[in-house]
Amino acid sequence: MRKWKIQLEKFGISNARRDELIAFCRQYPEKVDKLEKAQISDPKIIEKYQRDIFIIEETAKEADSFLAPWIIQSVTKNIPSWKLVQNSMPATEKEFNAKRRRFYVLLSEKL
């Protein structure tokens, strides 16, 4: 099955920047896990992880407060929109993809 990459060029985000944003989001589960298990003792790293988690969560809410939980699932765990729709996400695939693009545009502005 072919893997489609989200296209953000028309929003002024290069492919390299898109890949950077995706990589940032994919670290979310690891950071949450390490904070929950108190595996980090350095206060600076704890603060950075908390900040990164906050940025992702708040940006998802800005993109769409109702769909934020699904946006977070998609961008942090690489869950495709069609699979979220199959699992009862309350939006169409097209609507969700637009919100996810908006999330990346907003995130790019913040980082």
Quote the longest CA-to-CA distance of the chain: 43
24-50 pLDDT per residue, tens:
999 999 999 888 887 778 888 889 999
Rounded (10°) angle between helices 93-110 and 43-63? 140
4 vs 87, residue with greater confidence: 87
**In the predicted model, what is the mean pLDDT of the chain?**
88
* pLDDT above 90 (res 1): no
Q: Per-residue confidence at 2, pLDDT binned at 50, 70, 90?
A: very low
46-78 pLDDT per residue, tens:
899 999 999 999 999 999 999 999 999 999 998
User: For residue 65, how far is the Cα from the chain centroid?
Assistant: 14
Checking 4-7 for CB contacts under 8 A at 24+ apart, the result is 6/97, 6/100, 6/101, 6/104
